[in-house]
Structure 1
Amino acid sequence: MIHETVKIFPGAKLIGKVKIGQNSSIWYNAVLRGDIEEIKVGKFSNVQDNCVVHASKNHPILIDDYVSVGHAAVLHGCTIHANCIIGMNSTILNQVEIGKNSIVGAGAVVTEGKKFPARSLILGIPAKQVRELKEEEIKSIKDNALRYVELAKKSDYHGQSKKNCRRT
């Protein structure tokens, strides 16, 4: 089920069992592959340009509410709890769990099976929790997700036809 308020941009591909909640957006050339297990994207979340989100056998994907998945990130069989930012070009592997109100830094590689508590700042290769987030940082995560809701509403697909957005 894809909520009627969801915006899917040209070149994005939704394959198989993909559910997306209200006011979320899937940006240019993102690929969500729910052909093996289900992918669920919550409300007010965004999966940005060139991301790959792939559920694998026995490892569905949950991207909860108010989550921003940065440009070119790769998510594979993982759980991202509410109000998180997944940084650009980061990689999150099977059975990873990112706790609520957390940030995964750009370029981080979160190796298989890692579990991080709420309010974590997660950085590096391999990724590690470096500290707990401050209140103002947590607020900025939700603000970022809401900015993407507004940006998606204002977008006109840059002259491209909406029919270029595909679900297979």
Structure 2
Amino acid sequence: MKIGKDVYIAETAVIIGDVEIGDNASIFDNAVIRADMDRITIGENTNIQDNVTIHTDTGYPTRIGRNVSIGHNAVVHGCTIDDFVLIGMGSILMNGSHIRTGSIVGAGAVVTQGFESEEYSLILGLPAKVVKINKGQMEYIMANAEDYLKLKELHMRGRLERYRHG
């Protein structure tokens, strides 16, 4: 396991196995990152939001690039996510799928095994399909990533009140 500098990992997050997390990343509450079958890499400035599950299968490592936002309750399994990508809440990405730079996977989308997007794709549906290609969405992706960098700092510095049991 290798954890970069200035990484926030919530107390309730679970990280197991061959995991590498880049500088300035954030792993929020109840996220599970389980690299017990293959390797998981998470790039710098990437945020893994509450209840996200990241896993692998043998022969299907998970690679997540820089400045990626993975929304609450998403499942990311044995796939590749390039830099500057937003994965919507509740999305599922299956083995061998590849989401390219500047893309958005909409909330609740199911990205099937072996799916490959083009850069700057908007990917929606069940099963997921590319709806359009739009370089203009980069501004939204970057704003989301920057918001989570600010949240990471608040959490790391203990600036948010947190209820403690017991």
What is the TM-score with the length of structure 2 in the denominator? 0.93
The 5 A counterparts of 1:129-140 are 129-135=130-136, 137-140=137-140
1:65/1:83 contact within 8 Å kept = yes
User: Unpaired segments of 5 or more residues in structure 1?
Assistant: 162-168
2:72/2:90 contact within 8 Å kept = yes
Structure 2 Cα separation of the partners of residues 85 and 119 of structure 1: 11
The 5 A counterparts of 1:1-168 are 1-135=2-136, 137-155=137-155, 156=158, 158-159=161-162
Structure 1 Cα separation of the partners of residues 162 and 124 of structure 2: 38
Partner SS state of residue 59, structure 1:
coil
1:7 alignment partner AA: Y
% identical aligned pairs? 43
Alpha carbons of structure 1 residues 13 and 158: separation in structure 2 relative to 1, 3 Å: farther
Partner SS state of residue 115, structure 1:
coil
What is the TM-score with the length of structure 1 in the denominator? 0.92
Structure 2 Cα separation of the partners of residues 37 and 74 of structure 1: 16
1:4 Cα deviation from its structure 2 partner: 2.5
1:10/1:160 contact within 8 Å kept = no
Partner SS state of residue 40, structure 1:
strand
Cα deviation, 1:51-101, whole Å, max 9, x if unaligned, reads 100011000001100000000000110000000000000000000000100
Give the CA RMSD over aligned residues.
Answer: 1.2
1:143 Cα deviation from its structure 2 partner: 1.7
User: Unpaired segments of 5 or more residues in structure 2?
Assistant: none
Aligned length: 160
Cα deviation, 1:86-139, whole Å, max 9, x if unaligned, reads 00000000000001000000000001001111000000000000001242x112
Cα deviation, 1:16-60, whole Å, max 9, x if unaligned, reads 011111111000000000111110000100010001000110000
